[in-house]
Amino acid sequence: MSMLKDIQKVFFSKEELEAIARRLGSQISRDYENRNLLIVSVLKGSVIFMADLMRNITIPCKIDFITASSYHAGTESSGNVSVTDDLSVKDVHGYDILIVEDILDTGRTLQKLSDIFARKGANSVTICTLLDKPERRDKSVKIKPTYIGATVENEFVVGYGLDYDQKYRNLPFIGILKPEVYDNTNAQEETH
């Protein structure tokens, strides 16, 4: 059965998401000219955005992937973040790292990843997030995203990489699910 029956409302259409990738891609291409850009996609949520964004970046760059996991209960993140699959680049010295993320919620995941890359000696670490939920930011979080696709209210969104219970990532747009689809009772280890 189609996933579309579970969607309550579309927030960002395919065309709007393409426009975001174009805007941020050209901004990044300007800002990183003559630098040593390494784009790090946080799996799995950022894959679709990453694929669109990198095709809009016109300067030479390398790409890499990292997997961060945290214990989730339904739609709430606990803040216990760990790296489960590390970069294939072993020495980040000299790289200007741009972390590409699907959504910045409490910010704990990106705080942790930024700290790790800075400690390992990256030349610089900046963040490009497709969506930002500033209202949800944890007080302990100090990082600020340099590139933001769009800001969203405190609502749980799915599609274009973003999941609920690992599903709906393959929707070509971003939207919210009908309330009856959410079941917050399932605690689980979740890959972002």
Query: Which positions are catalytic?
Result: 105
Check residue 143 for interaction with ligand IMP (CB under 6 A).
Answer: no
Looking at beta carbons only, is 137 or 192 nearer to Mg ion? Answer: 192
Q: 46-65: which residues touch ligand IMP (CB under 6 A)?
A: none
Residue 143 exposure: Cα atoms within 13 Å on the Cβ side:
26
- 48 SS3 class: helix
Beta-strand (E) ranges in the chain?
Answer: 7-12, 37-43, 62-73, 76-85, 96-104, 124-132, 147-151, 157-158, 174-177, 187-191
Binding segment for ligand IMP among 5-13, 18-26, 92-100, 153-161 (CB under 6 A)?
153-161
Of the residues 6, 11, 77, 145, which one makes contact with ligand IMP according to CB under 6 A: 77
Binding ligand IMP by CB under 6 A: which of 108, 126, 143, 145? 108
Instruction: Tell me how many residues contact ligand IMP (CB under 6 A).
Output: 17
In sequence order, what are the beta bridge partners of 127? 99
Burial class (CB in 10 A: 0-12, 13-18, 19+), 91: exposed
**Residue 52 touches which of ligand IMP, Mg ion, none (Cβ within 5-8 Å per kind):** none
For binding to ligand IMP (CB under 6 A), which residues are involved?
A: 45, 77, 101-109, 156-158, 162-163, 192
